[in-house]
Chains A and B, each alone.
Chain A
Amino acid sequence: MAKLTIKDLKKSYGDVEILKGINLNIYDNEFVVFVGPSGCGKSTLLRSIAGLEEVSGGNIFIDDKDITDAAPAKRDLAMVFQSYALYPHMSVRENMAFALKLAKQPKHIIDKKIMDAAKILELDALLDRKPKELSGGQRQRVAIGRSIVRHPKVFLFDEPLSNLDAALRVQMRIELARLHHDLKATMIYVTHDQVEAMTLADKVVVLNKGRIEQVGSPMELYHNPTNIFVAGFLGMPKMSFLQAKVISANSLGLTVELSSGVDMCIPVSSDGIAKGSTVTVGIRPEHIQITDKNNSNFTGRLDVSEHLGSDTYCYVNTDANEQLTVRTPGYYQGKYGDTVGLQVDLRHCHVFNNDGQSLYKLNRSAA
């Protein structure tokens, strides 16, 4: 029952504009993840939604009600902070009861809500402990519990898992996904972690320098990034970028010559691309294969290989000294300095024009 609409939101600190006009629609029961490089304004946007920052322009609506100037407590949303921000002098129970007591709810209702939340988060045994006596993961659960008991319309999370170790992070990630499913609540989540973004999100919002670069489902963003920033930001390891010159353009696609002298025909729309102009070709690691160097006209020299067990990521330098990342099976044993052949899956290549905008892929349905 909670829809969040952000219209042309601006925020400046002094002369510095941090948010430069954000427009975003978040629908009921959606799990939205904000990603972007450090300092791009993710936290600022989240805090503006929460009412902790005064905005310099634009409006925020919850269910068509303008809350731009409402006090934080009146917005009916709850926030989970990166540092948990538990009240140190109160027990777990008191932490969770605080908001309800302030709202003057009757005692038996408070107790019931706390018991319900404690059951969901498996906090039953910890209710009388102080935050200091809890582990990081337990504190995180209390912080979430504190927001659950209020039954808010929207949950806000600012990098809630970044203080946890890798194993616990995976576990909490799964618990969050389950929680979202159980509570059927609208959630907005800020993270640095690509895996969290890809696995949790219904909708990913990529921010850069105070602007939204692209909004879409994780798969859409991964396979059809609108520009070179989004393409490079999503995916681990990163997409490789190669400079190229357009040789010919027709209805089947664009034929380009890479700086290393290799020709390739990529099935993208060639609208507005002149012969001879320069473009950037983007290829993800999984769309290149290493082949026999004698059977291939595209070769490179093997740099470092990273063995992850399941896969091996090879960094290959082309003849033009551009670096390509290639995913190979885990058993691949290439040696540093080897010359290898490269085979590119042309259907999955991306081409970006001079402004960094993506050219429309002709076989989008196959993506």
Chain B
Amino acid sequence: MNTTTLKVSDIKSGKKGESGVMGIAKQNAKISRYLVSPSVLLLLAWMLIPLSMTIYFSLIRFNLLYPGENEFVGLENFEFFVTDESFAAGMSNTLLLVGSVLLITVVLGVLISVVVNQAFWGRGIVRVMLISPFFIMPTVNALVWKNLLLHPVSGVFAAMWTFFGAEPVDWFTEYPLFSIIMIVSWQWLPFAILLLMTALQSLDQEQQEAARLDGAGPVDIFFHLTLPHLARPISVVVMIETIFLLSIFAEIFTTTSGGPGYETTNLAYLIYSQALLQFDVGLASAGGLIAVILANIAAFFLVRLVGKSLTEKN
């Protein structure tokens, strides 16, 4: 801001030939460059050092079980990571997890926030209760689900199944990924509801009344007014959730530990298991870089998606 105004004054004073003002402006620009440089350097170091270390580790053999043998191996770690059967599983589980949670939270989020936006007795307390899961730590959340809800013997679900005379389900063995999706959705649904509920409050009342006079029923109003109005907040929800959902870890760690087999192993958990269960730092670094690339691809598409809906004139 400051530098641009200075530039404008540069041009003006240059035309008049007053070199004094110009000199001060130049000096100011120089000073401001010096003043911002420490933070820029710090930020660069902050990003570059871990990144270059990761790149370095990914190119050497570096297993904590075999110290000393740190020779350069080129892209072997990458090849190994990608061709391992766990990688395909990790990739598809990550995508499945992110995709399903996004779908569930957005669809349910829209429906619930539209319902809660109606006036009814006790709306305030219902809203607070809908938001509250978001404030529970992921680890605690996962433990509650594991021990109190989904447990095949002592869980609430098992009690319900038995009450209706059905055989209790052992969720984490029979539907492991589905159970994780359920837990994570429960955690992130409040976030979607919070954003969408806030957005709904700015939905114009008179537009809805005009639509009612035009003969629109609740369903028409939902599809023609509410949903377009929510396009922007929905894309924000999708973007923010994706960033966090790509790195889901605690929920898997506390419940299934990636199993059975690789059925609930996502990329984050895969990298963890390579690095700390198999002590192969080189391999884990290669996995980390692949995850960075994947996240960037996702971010690229998301930013375009969100950017489009944000700049769209509506």
Is B207 engaged at the interface, CB distance under 8 Å to the other chain?
yes
- The answer for the CA separation of A28 and B259 in the assembled complex, in Å, is 77
Contact in complex: B209, A102 (CB < 8 Å): no
- Interface 1/0s, chain B 289-314, versus A by CB < 8 A? 00000000000000000000000011
Is A132 engaged at the interface, CB distance under 8 Å to the other chain?
yes
Contact in complex: A99, B209 (CB < 8 Å): no
- The answer for the CA separation of A306 and B193 in the assembled complex, in Å, is 58
Is A52 engaged at the interface, CB distance under 8 Å to the other chain?
yes
Contact in complex: B216, A130 (CB < 8 Å): no
Is B211 engaged at the interface, CB distance under 8 Å to the other chain?
yes
Q: Which of B207, B214, B313 contacts A130 (CB under 8 A)?
A: B313
Q: Which of B207, B212, B229, B313 contacts A73 (CB under 8 A)?
A: B212
Contact in complex: A79, B210 (CB < 8 Å): yes
Q: A88-B207, A89-B314 are in contact. Are A79 and B215 (CB under 8 A)?
A: no
Q: Which of A81, A98, A150 contacts B209 (CB under 8 A)?
A: A81
- The answer for the CA separation of A81 and B209 in the assembled complex, in Å, is 9
Residues of the B chain whose Cβ atoms lie less than 8 Å from the Cβ of A87: 207, 210-211, 224-225
Q: How many A residues face the partner with a CB closer than 8 A? A: 27
- The answer for the CA separation of A86 and B211 in the assembled complex, in Å, is 9
Is A322 engaged at the interface, CB distance under 8 Å to the other chain?
no
- The answer for the CA separation of A88 and B211 in the assembled complex, in Å, is 12
- The answer for the CA separation of A231 and B308 in the assembled complex, in Å, is 58
Contact in complex: B204, A83 (CB < 8 Å): yes
Is A1 engaged at the interface, CB distance under 8 Å to the other chain?
no
Is A21 engaged at the interface, CB distance under 8 Å to the other chain?
no
Is A72 engaged at the interface, CB distance under 8 Å to the other chain?
yes
- The answer for the CA separation of A79 and B209 in the assembled complex, in Å, is 9
Residues of the A chain whose Cβ atoms lie less than 8 Å from the Cβ of B314: 88-89, 130, 132
- The answer for the CA separation of A102 and B209 in the assembled complex, in Å, is 15
Contact in complex: B214, A89 (CB < 8 Å): no
Q: How many B residues face the partner with a CB closer than 8 A? A: 18
Residues of the A chain whose Cβ atoms lie less than 8 Å from the Cβ of B212: 52, 71-73
Min C-beta distance of A129 to chain B, whole Å: 10
Contact in complex: B204, A98 (CB < 8 Å): no
Contact in complex: A99, B228 (CB < 8 Å): no
The B210-259 residues at the A interface (CB cut-off 8 A) are 210-216, 220, 224-225, 228-229
Contact in complex: A73, B214 (CB < 8 Å): yes
Residue of A nearest to B208 (CB): A85
- The answer for the CA separation of A85 and B225 in the assembled complex, in Å, is 11
- The answer for the CA separation of A88 and B208 in the assembled complex, in Å, is 12
Is B206 engaged at the interface, CB distance under 8 Å to the other chain?
yes
- The answer for the CA separation of A79 and B207 in the assembled complex, in Å, is 11
Is A133 engaged at the interface, CB distance under 8 Å to the other chain?
yes
Which 9 A-B residue pairs are closest in the complex by CB-CB distance?
A73-B215, A99-B214, A89-B228, A85-B206, A85-B210, A102-B215, A81-B206, A85-B207, A72-B212
**27 pairs from A and B in contact (CB 8 Å cutoff):** A51-B213, A52-B212, A52-B213, A71-B212, A72-B212, A73-B212, A73-B214, A77-B213, A79-B213, A81-B210, A83-B206, A85-B206, A85-B207, A86-B207, A88-B228, A89-B224, A89-B225, A98-B211, A98-B214, A98-B216, A98-B224, A99-B213, A99-B214, A102-B214, A102-B215, A102-B216, A146-B210
